[in-house]
A and B are shown apart, each in its own frame.
Chain A
């Protein structure tokens, strides 16, 4: 187990290095730079700006010095938000995205699993079709359509909840974005859960359990739930990483100061350090989540543990 974990961590280093290198050079390939404005700055000021950010040095030197800084945990100053460093911006944006994303994922897993189970247990019944139709609708309607509708109904028309803003993560501000973010995830989880549950219900050991006369409730909760949840778990790794690294569109619609907006604004403004910082952070996070899921898998699945 330990050596497995160690190997996985070791393998993450070259992955991150490749990621940093690709991101660094791709960013520089994009036309225009952070100081290219509509009304160009005088050449002397431009030279000062370039010097201040080290852009006057050869690209390879910049790359080496950036890599050195990253190794020390310093992601550099932001080109766009000049009062802040990239570390500070990530430290400010990430907890917001994390709280929002996790809440959405918990809601999605809870409701998705229940709906999936219900559908599987009443396979091909009206309930099954009903649940799965709702799920398909949830997947098909993009959340940038659902979100404004939620705002119009619950914030503008009824005035029950705020139309936007974060307010330090108050629950009132979280309800609508969490619903909008969770809806498609609920649908995905429900579909995966239904599929795997149907498969498990048909397996021999479950038939045995039922033949022994165990009540259905116990059969499902004690014997079927855990193995049926495994495919959901492998979906959850990348999905959670995706959702907590910031949903740009949701953050925009609900005016939430998460990480996703930094990424997009950074790219549009050629804020090299901010984009790179966020990419590295995302990369590390996705690797970490996949790693976590693998660990959880071995806890839940005896077959994996045996290997």
Chain B
């Protein structure tokens, strides 16, 4: 994709994305029971946030693009598209056969209406910032321009034009984010805030909303109006609210769930021994890290101290002895696995353990600390069993290698977020990030001096300038090089200390066919089927 920018993209309509062989015998009852984590906050695609709602919305709606089981971008509501020479104007040709669940045709105006609603300040979408690459999106979200100024136009009933601020290689991936889904205008206008309820919702995905018992389950039924319905096998999907992972595991073992959202970390050993074949662990686009508050002592202007602390921890021990699910030690900030990008690592990644520890001690001493004059540091994390274990391990390693005096502080999530943002009391704090889209920029932008999540207070004008250059770069190879340079700069400046790359983990019954792990952990029930068992 990157090398072919400026060329014509014409992607043929995909008949079927199912990856399974048709020889296997199917179960008579095609009903899937999925654990889905926390209760979704809403099924309004433009107000939704969080992973649980996104899983359900993927079954209910279809954006202009969709994803293959392996995560590759494929045509969705649009059968094909072209991109202008300068990489800023996409023209999408819709499927004329696509229908809303009430039988109305899905038209270009529906997509335009959806994007405008998503950006409209009246909607107050918490994810509106994801539309930022679209022309005028930021000023529309800010209420400075009318929604009609958003760079989206219906050229005719089945052609949508989207104009971008600058070439955005990951843009097609954004078009299967719920913030960009079309919505059925008449339904929204009739039911207002209640349009996402069973009985009211009109949607264009492979399933329709049948029932919703808050804090219990959501039931979806196959949508006979969906253009690709002939390829759908599973008739009914139950999404259960499963906040408690131990309970989820028990329900899975009792045969009530076919798929779990997560696994309880404390029972990983047992699961490996007894359900090893059903445990699916795959790489995930996420980084777990600790931040240093570089706006306050002792980390302000003290690079050597930050380096020493980062070198003094043994990430392999944390991954193998504490997490135990195949998490990979992180020496960089952008998780590996993004096509066309080579993840960078800190200089000490190749050192042996002893070399690293020796270097850590040297830097620690040079930073002005010693056994007699140890660093006193507070490690702050949000209350959670795993964060506690990791924080304790990090602290114990610092003490063993450098003689650091530590205090562990845990805070409830909202309190923690506030303390972190204030940058007054924090010294070292726990953080993590799951990529919003499959591009390194989703991680690199976090450390921009003005970014809301840069709680380290990292402020390097050179880094900011690099990000600015990346965001307008049209040569994709050059863009990748610039991003790699930015990541190296970040790792050299060390405002953060990477710990490990997340993995996606869950249990899948052997009779569930079609599950393919992918780095975004995006799955579509229409691609699955239940085998006879």
Which A residues form the contact surface with B (CB < 8 A)?
A: 30-33, 35-42, 44-45, 48-49, 52, 77, 80-84, 89, 92-93, 148, 151-152, 155-156, 159, 162-166, 251-258, 261-262, 265, 268-270
Contact = CB atoms under 8 A, between A and B. Distances in A.
A45 B251 contact: no
B129 A42 contact: yes
Most buried by B among A38, A82, A269: A38
Contacts of B240: 165, 255
Contacts of B413: 32, 268
A87 to B, nearest CB: 13
Nearest to A41: B126
B214 A92 contact: yes
A156 B251 CA distance: 8
Interface residues of B, number: 51
Interface string B141-164: 111000000000000000000000
A83 B414 contact: no
A302 B417 CA distance: 59
Contacts of B124: 45, 48-49, 52
Contacts, number: 141
B141 A42 contact: yes
Contact of B244 (A31, A84, A159, A252): A252
Contacts of B280: none
Given A257-B214, A268-B414, A83 B453 contact: no
Nearest to A256: B216
A113 to B, nearest CB: 32
A159 B255 contact: yes
Contact of A255 (B38, B247, B415, B452): B247
B256 to A, nearest CB: 6
Nearest to B50: A37
A105 B515 CA distance: 45
A92 B415 contact: no
A265 B143 contact: no
A265 B39 contact: yes
Given A45-B124, A83-B42, A163 B418 contact: no
Q: Would you call the interface of chain A mostly helix, strand, loop, or mixed?
A: loop
23 contacts: A32-B414, A32-B417, A38-B453, A42-B129, A48-B121, A49-B124, A49-B126, A52-B124, A77-B193, A82-B47, A82-B193, A83-B42, A83-B194, A89-B214, A93-B214, A151-B254, A155-B250, A159-B254, A252-B247, A254-B247, A258-B215, A265-B38, A268-B412
A256 B128 CA distance: 34
A81 B417 contact: no
A84 B43 CA distance: 11
Contact of B214 (A48, A84, A148, A270): A84
B513 to A, nearest CB: 24
Contact of B213 (A33, A52, A166, A269): A166
B133 to A, nearest CB: 15
Contacts of A77: 193
Contacts of B254: 151, 155-156, 159, 162-163
B452 A162 contact: no
A48 B122 contact: yes
B101 interface: no
User: Which 6 A-B residue pairs are closest in the complex by CB-CB distance?
Assistant: A32-B414, A40-B452, A163-B254, A257-B216, A257-B215, A44-B142
Interface string B332-369: 00000000000000000000000000000000000000
Contacts of A159: 254-255
A38 B240 CA distance: 25
A58 B44 CA distance: 30
B44 A82 contact: yes
Contact of A42 (B142, B243, B253): B142
A164 B242 CA distance: 10
Contact of B217 (A40, A165, A265): A165
B141 A44 contact: yes
A58 B193 CA distance: 26
A158 B457 CA distance: 56
A181 to B, nearest CB: 15
Contact of A81 (B39, B129, B216): B39
A114 to B, nearest CB: 32
Contacts of B43: 83
Given A32-B417, A255-B247, 18 more contacts: A31-B415, A32-B414, A32-B415, A36-B417, A40-B421, A40-B452, A48-B121, A49-B124, A81-B39, A82-B47, A82-B193, A83-B194, A92-B213, A148-B250, A159-B254, A163-B253, A254-B247, A256-B216
A197 B241 CA distance: 46
Nearest to A84: B214
A265 B412 CA distance: 13
Contacts of B410: none
Contacts of A148: 246, 250
B414 A270 contact: yes
B407 interface: no
Contact of A163 (B49, B241, B250): B250
Nearest to A258: B215
B418 to A, nearest CB: 5
Given A165-B217, A252-B244, A255-B216, A83 B44 contact: yes
A251 B413 CA distance: 22
Interface string B489-524: 000000000000000000000000000000000000
B250 A151 contact: yes
B197 interface: yes
Contacts of A41: 126, 128-129
B235 interface: no
Contacts of B452: 39-40
Given A45-B121, A93-B215, A255 B241 contact: yes
Nearest to B431: A38
A35 B41 CA distance: 13
B126 A35 contact: yes
Contacts of A155: 250, 254
B525 interface: no
A36 B418 contact: yes
B456 interface: no
Contacts of A165: 216-217, 240, 251, 256
Nearest to A269: B414
Nearest to B49: A37
Contact of B126 (A37, A256, A262): A37
Contact of A83 (B38, B193, B241): B193
Contacts of A256: 216
Most buried by A among B122, B242, B417: B417
A53 B452 CA distance: 23
Most buried by B among A32, A77, A151, A159: A32
B196 interface: yes
B216 to A, nearest CB: 4
Contacts of A257: 213-216, 241
B65 interface: no
